[in-house]
Amino acid sequence: MSDKILVVTTESIPGREYEVIGEVFGLTTQSKNVIKNIGASLKNIVGGEIKAYTEMMAESRDTSIDRLRENAASMGADAVVMMRFDSGSIGQDMQSVAAYGTAVRYIK
């Protein structure tokens, strides 16, 4: 059910009228394993993209959106508008990502 929740970054959904339900969010904190951390440290010496961390960020983003949709579905929402991301580091090898927005219900 939650995979059917429309998530948009815009303030409105063209062609739809809706009522605001409230604030919704999805959170995750992830880290990579020791081997990938060592590889990232070596890459830091020579420069370039650290693909293990890029993958971790993409996975974190996807997980936070999934949790945002679950939160919205539990509130009876049809969509989430004004979705945004916020992220930050916890220590040297953990990344926290929050997806947040406004849950809305379509007016039939």
pLDDT (tens digit per residue) in 84-106 = 999 888 776 778 999 999 999 99
Supply the pLDDT for residue 103: 98
Would you tell me how many other CB atoms lie within 10 Å of the CB of residue 102? 18
Supply the pLDDT for residue 94: 77
For 47, the domain range is 2-106
Please state, in angstroms and rounded to a whole number, the distance separating the CA atoms of residues 32 and 62.
16
Tokens of residue 25, six digits: 């969010």
Dihedral of CA atoms 78, 6, 29, 59 in degrees, nearest 10, equals 150
> Which CATH number do you get for residue 24?
3.30.110.70
pTM of the model as a whole: 0.80
Tokens of residue 53, six digits: 């961390």
pLDDT in tens, 23-57: 999 999 987 655 555 555 555 555 677 777 788 88
Q: How many domains does the chain have?
A: 1
**Helix locations, the chain, DSSP H:** 34-46, 51-74
Supply the pLDDT for residue 17: 96
